[in-house]
Amino acid sequence: MENQIILATKQLTKKYGDVRAVEQINLNVKKGRIYGLLGRNGAGKTTIMKMVLGLISISEGEIEIFGERLKGNEKSIYTRIGSIIETPSFYSYLTGTENLEIFSRLRGTIKKNAVKSALEVVGLPYKDKKPFVSYSLGMKQRLGIANAILNDPEILILDEPTNGLDPVGIVEIRKFLQTLCHEQGKTIIISSHILSEIALLADDIGIIHDGHLLKEFSMNELEEKNKRFIEIKVNSVTKATQLLENMMKCKNYTVTDKNCIEIYDENLNTEEIADCLVSHGIGLSSLVFKHETLEDYFTSLTGGAKFE
């Protein structure tokens, strides 16, 4: 069952004067999947999301959502999208419930007691007395999420939703988003700079770097395509490489550390390698099958700088 494209940007560009903040972005988000927008801080993820949500103007390009052009259909389309951009902002001296009730009166609701249900889902109290200004960061994020899911939207656009959450909170959000997507069939676009979280959560990935969309792929594709290699740790790299070349006719390898070799030749049998090395007196302390992770792939695409 092929998922159709529910949100697409065509040549989306944002210019601030002469500065091209975001350039020719062609995103393709599939229905019912989690799309992770990956990139370093300042790469342009939030700018893209803001343009999609109509919070900043589009310099060039088009956006298509639910199969329609966004321009001219904003009202009907935005009712079907829930979002959190940057830190959720609410009225400081109103309680969470009061805040949500204002928004629900502005937007309309889909059921009776929508505010109560939404607060229940995120685990915040209903009609309590605590004003938003006294909320912890975790509670603020939760209120933002409650606001985003208030009208059971078909698409959720979340900008760094785990920002400022503790490890437990991050796991909770992850499970919550997985439920929303896999059990309720919502489409979720989430931006993050925490690679490990995205790797666990996203079905599809778009890598943004310096305002450009470098690549779009599914996690499945990545796993299949990922370079698989055998990593061996030996006591003598020089002897081992010699053996590899002469005895095993293997030229496809790299020495990555003073004791560590990565062998890319998949056809080599690990038993043979171990046997060969050990029988020639080389100390083999470890032999492992490994593959590139999302982090490795990201680093190689964006040019090696250490990711935070």
Binding site for another protein (CB under 8 A): 76, 79-80, 104-105, 107-112, 151-154, 183-186
Nearer to another protein, 54 or 138 (CB): 54
Q: How far is the CB of 139 from another protein (least distance, A)?
A: 25
Angle between helices 137-149 and 114-122 (to 10 degrees): 140
Nearer to another protein, 23 or 154 (CB): 154
Nearer to another protein, 184 or 252 (CB): 184
Nearer to another protein, 145 or 208 (CB): 145
Nearer to another protein, 105 or 291 (CB): 105
CA distance linking residue 96 with residue 130, whole number of Å: 7
Nearer to another protein, 109 or 192 (CB): 109
Q: Looking at this protein, which amino acid is placed at residue 26?
A: N
Are the C-beta atoms of 180 and 188 separated by less than 8 Å?
yes
- 168-198 CB burial, b ≥16 within 10 A, e <16: ebbebbbebbeebbeeeebbbbbbbbbbebb
Nearer to another protein, 18 or 183 (CB): 183
Q: How far is the CB of 253 from another protein (least distance, A)?
A: 39
Determine the straight-line distance between the first and last CA of the chain, rounded to whole angstroms. Answer: 37
Are the C-beta atoms of 49 and 56 separated by less than 8 Å?
no
Q: How far is the CB of 165 from another protein (least distance, A)?
A: 27
Nearer to another protein, 6 or 222 (CB): 6
C-alpha distances out from residue 14 to 19, 196, 253, Å? 9, 29, 43
Q: How far is the CB of 152 from another protein (least distance, A)?
A: 5
Q: What are 246's two structure tokens?
A: 């002469």
Contacts of 26 (CB under 8 A, 6+ apart): 8, 9, 10, 11, 12, 213, 216
Q: What are 42's two structure tokens?
A: 């300042």
C-alpha distances out from residue 107 to 66, 103, 112, Å? 20, 6, 14
Give the count of alpha carbons within 13 A of 1, CB side only: 3
Q: How far is the CB of 115 from another protein (least distance, A)?
A: 10
- CA 133 to mean position of chain CA atoms: 29
Q: How far is the CB of 42 from another protein (least distance, A)?
A: 34
Q: How far is the CB of 122 from another protein (least distance, A)?
A: 19
C-alpha distances out from residue 103 to 47, 131, 239, 273, Å? 24, 16, 70, 65
Q: How far is the CB of 273 from another protein (least distance, A)?
A: 31
